[in-house]
Structure 1
Amino acid sequence: MSTRLPGRLARLLSGLVLFGVSVALMVRADLGLASWDVLHQGLAARTGLPLGQVVNLVALAVLLLWIPLRQRPGVGTVANAVVVGVAADVALAVLPPVAPVAGRVGLLVVGILLNGLATALYLGARLGPGPRDGLMTGLAARGLPIGRVRTAIELGVLALGWALGGTVGPGTLLFAVSIGPLAGHLIPKFTVPAPGRPVTTGATSPCPA
């Protein structure tokens, strides 16, 4: 596993592209919004603000939570805001809607698995997390298992979004309970070691170099 910057940048880019594709797969599955999108939808309904503005405001609020967690932004933080959306749009333009329920369930499962792999790749590059993943890695750096942290965040955000009127489906629940264990298993396997320090499989989390 290369620790050189070009290799880490390639890992970051591939992870973010795959993340966007995973989002598109889950959208085409049409079996429920992801947890954060349930929150975005609920806040948009309550405030009357456009959904895009709500997404950006929530991202800003989460970034403020980085301060007490001592998380540091990096090139990956900026790239996350640009690449994921573009990759998702391109994938949605290529992927046609799927009508059969079995096909939609298949898209959902592949989307969740790909999302876990993509998260591990881009976080494992150690070039900076996105706003929401930074909350996860910041809490995990305090000694908490990263898989449990991710699950707790997903379920908490989902509950808040549902209380605000966001739409919840079976895919929402499946994603919320499965992405944490999946990320917790894959992130240590794909994290580039810091110089002179091996990657562990405990509660440590990747951070910018």
Structure 2
Amino acid sequence: MRQNISYVPFREHPSRRLPQLLLGLALYGFSLSVLVRAALGVNPWSVLYEGLERRTPLSFGTISAVLGVLVLLLWIPLKQRPTFGTFANIAVLAVSSDIGLLVLPADLGLPARAGLLVGGIVLNGLSVAVYVGARFGPGPRDGLMTGAAAVTGGSLRRVRTVIELAVLSVGWLLGGTAGAGTVLYAVAVGTVTQFFMPCFAYRSPGDAPRASVRAD
């Protein structure tokens, strides 16, 4: 199924789209903390956050915000332009992931951790569909991917793979948690997101069928 998830200006039905954006980002940040507490492996960027958290006095959420800002600097040579959704992504993810780590218990048994892993991946995919479906523009890491693909001429899949492998490698070397959960996340989260996207993709009156893109 094709869904149009391109940027829609802020002025178009903000009362409908803004709550969806903020809810989706809050759930996404919380899902990252769920995966951290599962301690069975997190997504590549969270591996990097964990690694830096071990080696700096900064919290997981603060590191995600700092790296989000640094990634935005890479947008300049790629000629990418941030939107409201880009900055909301940085701020809301930082706060919600730190809150999640405060309220979720650590050092759980394996059955509970396995449940957190599966639940975290489902929540992560759902939350991506919610906030991307609001169509306020890409987050810093998504914009890096699309900008690099446009400049290099590579496919989005290839560019994303290269970026995430690089991030994963650095994070693992710094002491971040990579494991079976990292692999399961990579395999499953796209499918979960695609499943939920039709439910949350905002349909603009100006949409044209030929302008649509695949949700995956």
| Shorter-chain TM-score range | 0.7 to 0.9
Aligned to 1:59: 68
The CA deviation at 1:147 is: 6.1
Unaligned runs of 5+ in 1: 205-209
Specify which of 35, 41, 48 is matched with residue 39 of structure 1.
48
TM-score (norm 2): 0.71
1:192 to 2:202 alignment: yes
For the residues of structure 2 that align with 1:36 and 1:61, how far apart are their CA atoms?
14
Count, aligned residues: 201
Distance verdict in 2 for CA 1:121–1:111, change over 3 Å? same
Specify which of 95, 117, 135 is matched with residue 126 of structure 2.
117
The CA deviation at 1:64 is: 2.1
Unaligned runs of 5+ in 2: 1-11
Distance verdict in 2 for CA 1:78–1:28, change over 3 Å? same
Aligned to 1:107: 116
More contact order relative to length (CA 8 Å, sep ≥ 6): 2
For the residues of structure 2 that align with 1:111 and 1:38, how far apart are their CA atoms?
15
Distance verdict in 2 for CA 1:66–1:160, change over 3 Å? same
The CA deviation at 1:193 is: 3.8
TM-score (norm 1): 0.73
For the residues of structure 1 that align with 2:131 and 2:103, how far apart are their CA atoms?
23
**Coordinate RMSD, CA, aligned:** 3.5
One-letter code aligned to 2:185: F
Distance verdict in 2 for CA 1:161–1:60, change over 3 Å? same
1:173 to 2:173 alignment: no
Q: How does 1:86-105 map to 2 (within 5 A)?
A: 86-97=95-106, 99-105=108-114
The CA deviation at 1:158 is: 0.9
Distance verdict in 2 for CA 1:149–1:182, change over 3 Å? farther
SS of match in other structure, 2:214: coil
